[in-house]
Amino acid sequence: MADLFIGLMSGTSMDGIDTALVDFTSRQPNILATHNHCYPAVLQQQLENALGLAAPLNTDLATIDDAVGDIFSVATNELLGKAGIEAEQVTAIGSHGQTIRHDPDAPKPYSLQIGNPNIIARNTGIDVVADFRRADIEAGGQGAPLVPAFHQAVFADNSEDRVILNIGGIANITILTPANDTQVSGFDTGPGNTLMDNWAQTHLQTSMDINGDWAAAGQVDTALLEHMLTDTYFQAVPPKSTGREYFNPHWLSQYTADGDATANSIQTTLCELTARTAATAIQLYADSAKRLLVCGGGVHNLQLMKRLAANLPGLTVDTTATCGINPDWVEAAAFAWLAKQHLEGKPGNIPAVTGASEAVSLGRLVRQPPENVL
Ligand SMILES: Nc1ncnc2c1ncn2[C@@H]1O[C@H](COP(=O)(O)OP(=O)(O)O)[C@@H](O)[C@H]1O
Ligand SMILES: [Mg+2]
């Protein structure tokens, strides 16, 4: 009997909704089907606005909450079609939703994801677990990163210290040491792709620096890099998490305003910033690690992967594909797993990672409407 769950994830890059159908029958999850579904351009712009980078949070919030729920449903139904699987064969969906606010260090900490799960449950006929971050925030945690528990369940190895590095819009690490698996730790190291994406959008009019070719063509501006590295986020001791509310074009302009670096050299420097801050975090907090497994869209930025390896000469740098999970689908699979954890009454956070006072069950369950029950 298969043990099927679906994970739905859209990260800070807003490069589309990742959906994965995962079978958890054996210890190693088996990803049976995947589908990436882009946001319609108008909704994407509304989401960018809601992030507060272009305009203050506006009254459209309720509308876009439902619109994201709608498009997540469409993405799920297309995934089911691709897989040739009926809704009733799937136990539940874990939907991360779309983050539009994340400030765990505010006087009243919060993290807000939208994508109305009631709509997803109705349109798919599958129970939905959503709103994963707020229980951890209520327990005094950062609400992020949440993928380390999944990384531990799937990638931990009892003979080797490993680090998982997920390079989405923001980058986060999970440190897996076999000696003491209750001590799993992890945190956001800083920007992943987001600053490079923004810079490419402005100067190349493309959504990203494809394969990192532009970054590879320039020179690092050492003075600019050293200046950016003085930012307080990089010095802060974990637990810590961040988002595009912090690392955005405004953040970058604080460092580039007075300089004379070329646009190309700034891109190369941003690539080095991501590689260097991740590498430094690994050297500081996981000095016994032998292997680095990378996942997230950043694996496709070849210059970034090259610079990561160059900054970590003692480590073997691979992608999670070498451990059986395609790097593009690790996060979606993680939210499928977190839905399973929820239904089994098991915790989803790791207090040593998020800073929460205790391990708690994450998410809220929305049952599919009765008319869909067979
Ligand atoms: N071919 C590619 N070349 C360079 N960068 C890429 C490529 N494919 C994906 N990326 C990067 O990966 C990002 C998406 O990664 P993802 O893990 O989905 O992040 P998020 O979780 O923030 O959505 C894109 O915004 C882009 O920066
Ligand atoms: Mg993405």
DSSP assigned state of 39: P
Query: What count of Cα atoms within 13 Å lies in the side-chain half-sphere of residue 28?
Result: 9
Q: What is the pTM of this model?
A: 0.95
Ligand 1 within 6 A of CB of 12: yes
Domains 4-144+330-372 and 148-327 share a fold: yes
Q: Please, what's the b/e burial string for 28-49 (b: 16 or more CB within 10 A of its CB; e: otherwise)?
A: ebbbbbbbbbebeeebeebbbb
Q: Of 9, 13, 188, which is best to mutate to test ligand 1, by the most ligand atoms within 8 angstroms of its C-beta? A: 13
- Tens of pLDDT, residue by residue over 113-135, are 999 999 999 999 999 999 999 99
Overall residue count recorded for the chain in this entry: 374
Atom 11, ligand 1: which residue's CA is nearest? 297
196 CA closest ligand 1 atom index: 27
Ligand 1 within 6 A of CB of 301: yes
197 CA closest ligand 1 atom index: 27
Atom 12, ligand 1: which residue's CA is nearest? 297
Question: Hey, what are 323's tokens?
Answer: 């451990």
Furthest-apart CA atoms within the chain: distance in Å: 66
Ligand 1 within 6 A of CB of 296: yes
Give the number of whichever ligand sits closest to the CA of residue 329. 1
Ligand 1 within 6 A of CB of 193: yes
The structure tokens 């994407």 sit at 44
How many CB atoms within 10 Å of residue 309? 17
How far does the centroid of ligand 2 lie from the alpha carbon of residue 11, in Å? Answer: 5
The topology under which CATH files domain 148-327 is: Nucleotidyltransferase; domain 5 (3.30.420)
Atom 19, ligand 1: which residue's CA is nearest? 168
How far does the centroid of ligand 1 lie from the alpha carbon of residue 296, in Å? Answer: 7
Domain boundaries in the chain? 4-144+330-372, 148-327
211 CA closest ligand 1 atom index: 3
Query: Strand ranges (DSSP E) for the chain?
Result: 4-10, 17-23, 30-37, 90-103, 110-114, 128-130, 162-167, 170-176, 185-191, 291-295, 316-319, 364-366
Strand pairing of 17-23 and 30-37? antiparallel
How far does the centroid of ligand 1 lie from the alpha carbon of residue 297, in Å? Answer: 3
- Residues whose CB is under 5 A from ligand 2 (ion)? 11, 13, 15
How far does the centroid of ligand 2 lie from the alpha carbon of residue 159, in Å? Answer: 32
Atom 23, ligand 1: which residue's CA is nearest? 11
Ligand 1 within 6 A of CB of 168: yes
Q: How far is CA 345 from the centre of its chain?
A: 23
Q: What is the pLDDT along the chain (374 residues), one digit of tens a residue?
A: 789 999 999 999 999 999 999 999 998 999 999 999 999 999 998 898 888 765 555 547 889 999 999 999 999 999 999 999 999 999 999 999 999 989 999 999 999 999 999 999 999 999 999 999 999 999 999 999 999 999 999 999 989 999 999 999 999 999 998 755 557 899 999 999 999 999 999 999 999 999 999 999 999 999 999 999 999 999 999 999 999 999 999 999 999 988 889 999 999 999 999 999 999 999 999 999 999 999 999 999 999 999 999 999 999 999 999 999 999 999 999 999 999 999 999 999 999 999 999 999 999 999 988 665 55
Closest among 99, 133, 135 to 115, alpha carbons compared: 99
Q: How far is CA 208 from the centre of its chain?
A: 17
How far does the centroid of ligand 1 lie from the alpha carbon of residue 130, in Å? Answer: 23
H-helix or E-strand spanning residue 69: helix 61-83
Architecture of domain 4-144+330-372: 2-Layer Sandwich (3.30)
Give the number of whichever ligand sits closest to the CA of residue 300. 1
